[in-house]
Amino acid sequence: MGARIQRILGIEKANSLAILAALQTLFGPELFAAVPATAVKRELNSWVQKEHRKKWSCTPALRQSKLFIRWPDKKTITELIGLSRNSVRRIVALRTGHNLLRRHAKLMGIVKGNDICRKCGEEQETTEHILCECPALASLRHTFFGTGFPTTEEIMSSNNKALLFFINKTGLLD
């Protein structure tokens, strides 16, 4: 029997079973309501996402991460899955502040000496300084983010690939 005929017979059988089920009389102590499985799945996903965002917002720590990550979302996850492990590592390092820029590297005891920005020599080399403020990187930021001095909110909404290309071009995480 051809695959097409089997599929048609399968659909016909499913249809006749669905009609049969719809004609059944419901019984039992509980109340019954016909809710499609897709609606249940959609409601569950929505609830999980809402609870996740609530937990993210209410967690008192994660100051640095909250500067550059609005909340976990499916679009970002899909975007990151398509990138190499090294690229994902760099993006996560930038968005969470757990990277080898001088300020954090010094806090971790990885770098000795000062934590002044290697590009401008004026301010501490923090993630925020590099992504938003460093005057020596204004032109490069303009190329990738459309503005020389983006706000943390703009970086938060920025495309991950733009963020990756920008930091690669600075050479600061090499």
Q: List residues binding Zn ion (CB under 5 A).
A: 117, 119-120, 134
Least separation in angstroms between CB 91 and Zn ion: 21
Judged by CB, which is closer to Zn ion: 83, or 120? Answer: 120
| Best CA proximity match to 161, nearest among 72, 90, 62 | 90
Quick check: 130 and 170 in contact, CB under 8 A? Answer: yes
> Residue 170 and residue 101: Cα distance in Å, rounded?
11
The minimum distance between CB 157 and Zn ion, in angstroms, equals 23
Between 134 and 155, CB nearer to Zn ion: 134
The minimum distance between CB 156 and Zn ion, in angstroms, equals 20
Report the residue number, 103 or 119, with the smaller CB distance to Zn ion.
Answer: 119
- Cα 102 to Cα 37, 69, 107, 140: the distances in Å are 52, 21, 8, 20
Contact 52, 67 (CB under 8 A): no
* Residue 99 C-beta: closest distance to Zn ion, Å: 15
Rounded to 5, what percent of the chain is helix, strand, coil?
65, 0, 35
User: Which one, 79 or 154, has the nearer CB to Zn ion?
Assistant: 154
Closest CB to Zn ion among residues 115, 154: 115
- List the one residue out of 125, 132, 133, 171 whose CA is nearest residue 155: 132
Q: How far is the CB of 135 from Zn ion (least distance, A)?
A: 7
Select 88 or 93, whichever has its Cβ closest to Zn ion: 93
Smallest gap from Cβ 120 to Zn ion, in A, equals 3
Cα gap 37→42, rounded to integer Å: 9
